[in-house]
Structure 1
C-alpha cells in the first residue's frame, strides 16, 4: 500500500471522527505498523499539505495535522462512491455524455479529466467521449470548478432508444468480465474471513491493519466498476456479493480498529470535539 493512500485511509476511517486532527507522532507511529519509515511518513504528510488535504498547527511543542475543508470534501465524495451502490435504483434509460477538446500541450488537464470521469463512473466511448448511465454531469462541473480546470467540455443528455443498444453500449465502454474477475478475487479472499470477524478474532493493531487492508482492497473498484443499472448487468452480478461482503467486514472490524486508534493516538487538543463514528448509537451499516 502506498504511504499516501494509508494516510488518507487513516483520516477517512478514524481521524476525521476524532476532530480531523492528529499529531505527527501519532501518524508516524501508525504508519510504522504498515512498514512505512519515519522519513517517508514525514515526506508524505508534507506532500498532502502542499496538495491542500492537510494543514499544520503547533500545540504543546508538537505539530498536528488537520484535515482542510478540501480534505473533508474529498473524503465525503470518496465515501459516497465506495459505500453506496445505485445499480438497484430504477433507471430511466438516459445517458450522460461528455465530449471534451483539450490541446495536446495540456496533457495534465486531459489526464485530470480522464481520472475524474473514471472516478465518477464514466466509461470511454471514444478517445474524448465518455458516457455514464447516471446523471453526474453536475458533479463533473463542480469538480472542474473546484480544481480550476478550464477546457472545452460539452455535457449532453442522451438516449439510445433501445435496451439492446444500451447493453451494447455498456459492453463497448466497460470490460465487465474483467471487473467480475476482480470482484471474485475479493470475495474469495474476504468472504471466508467474515466468520472470523464475527468471532472477534482481530484485536488491537491487527484489527486496524485488517480494517485498512479491507478498505484498500475494495476502494479501487469505483475506478473500474461504473455501478451500472441492473438492466445492463449480467445475471447474478458478483459485484453485489462483493459489496455486501465489504460492508459486513467493514462494520465488524470498525469498533476494534477505532478502539486501537484511540489507545495509541495522542489525545486531541481540548478544543477538538469527538465525532461519533457512522452507525454509533444506531443499528445498520454505514
Structure 2
C-alpha cells in the first residue's frame, strides 16, 4: 500500500466535500499511526500538488493542503466504486464492450499506457489486440486523452456460439486471482479485533478503506452469473461495510482531535 493510496483515502474520508484544507502537521501525525514517515508524507503532498491534485494554502507559518477539482473527481469515483457500484454485477444485459487496437513496436510506451488504462477501466485481454469488458463502458475520453483515437476501435456486441460468456470471462480475466484477493481481505479483516498492531481505530479506518478501494479498483466487476458459486466478494463486501460503519463512529472523534483545518472557498 503506497503513501499516495493512503493519502487519497485520508482525503476522501476527512477533506472531500468539506471546503477545507488540512494542516500538513496533522497529516503527518495521522500517518505516523500507520507507520508512514514524515518524509514520505511531505514527499507525497508535494508530488500530489505538482500533479494538480492538491492546492497549498498558508496561514501564518503553517501550510495547509486542499483539494483541486481534479482530486475531487478522483475521490468521487472512489466513493462511487465503494458505495454505489458494489462488489457484484447483478445487472448485466449480456453485452460486451470490445476495444481493438494495433500499435507498432515504435509506439511501445503508448501501447503500455493504453493497456494500463484499460485494466483500470475493467477491461481484460481476450486475445492479442482485443480487450473486453462486460456491459457498456464509456472510454472515449480516456482514448482521446491518450491521443489514440485513430488507432483504436470501440464497439459493443454479444457473444455467439460456440463462444460462451463464462469462457470469455475466464479467458480475459484471472478470476482465481480476483477471488484470492477477496479471500486475503477476509483473512486480514475477519475476526473480532482485526489489525490489533495498529494503535487505534483511526489508523484501522484509514487502512481498511485503502485496502477495500484498492481491491474493488482491481475488480473488473464481472457479471455474477459468470462467477463461481460462493464468490468471496459477497462476504468481503459485507465485512467491509460492517467495519466501515463501526470505524465511522469510533474514528471520527479521534480525527476531530488530530486534524487541524481551515475553511477555504
**TM-score, normalization by structure 1:** 0.82
Aligned to 2:245: 251
Distance 1:99 1:164, change over 3 A: closer
Q: Distance in 2 between matches of 1:21 and 1:165?
A: 51
Partner secondary structure for residue 97 of structure 1: strand
Q: Which deviates more, 97-106 or 247-256?
A: 97-106
Distance 1:77 1:144, change over 3 A: farther
Aligned to 2:226: 232
1:182 maps to 2:177: no
Q: Which deviates more, 246-255 or 46-55?
A: 246-255
Contact 1:205 1:257 in 2 (8 A): no
Q: Distance in 1 between matches of 2:68 and 2:104?
A: 32
Q: Distance in 1 between matches of 2:94 and 2:250?
A: 43
**Residue 256 of structure 1, CA deviation:** 1.9
Contact 1:11 1:20 in 2 (8 A): no
User: Which whole-Å deviations, capped at 9, do the CAs of 1:52-104 have from their partners, x for residues lacking one?
Assistant: 11111222332111110000001111222233227343322100001223343
1:160 maps to 2:154: no
Q: Which deviates more, 2-11 or 80-89?
A: 80-89
1:149 maps to 2:143: no
Q: Distance in 2 between matches of 1:124 and 1:43?
A: 35
1:209 maps to 2:208: no
Contact 1:122 1:226 in 2 (8 A): yes
**TM-score, normalization by structure 2:** 0.88
**Residue 113 of structure 1, CA deviation:** 2.1
Contact 1:22 1:268 in 2 (8 A): yes
1:125 maps to 2:126: yes
Aligned to 1:90: 91
Contact 2:21 2:64 in 1 (8 A): yes
**Residue 163 of structure 1, CA deviation:** 9.4
Partner secondary structure for residue 164 of structure 2: helix
Q: Distance in 2 between matches of 1:169 and 1:228?
A: 11
Distance 1:205 1:59, change over 3 A: farther
Unaligned runs of 5+ in 1: 273-286
Equivalences for residues 1-286 of structure 1 within 5 A? 1-83=1-83, 84-85=85-86, 87-136=88-137, 138=138, 140-145=139-144, 148-151=145-148, 152-161=151-160, 165-193=164-192, 196=193, 206-269=200-263, 271=264
Contact 2:179 2:232 in 1 (8 A): yes
Partner secondary structure for residue 247 of structure 2: helix
Regions of 4+ moved over 6 Å = none
**Residue 162 of structure 1, CA deviation:** 5.0
Contact 1:93 1:133 in 2 (8 A): yes
Unaligned runs of 5+ in 2: none
- Number of aligned positions between the proteins: 261
Distance 1:24 1:207, change over 3 A: same
Aligned-CA RMSD value? 2.5
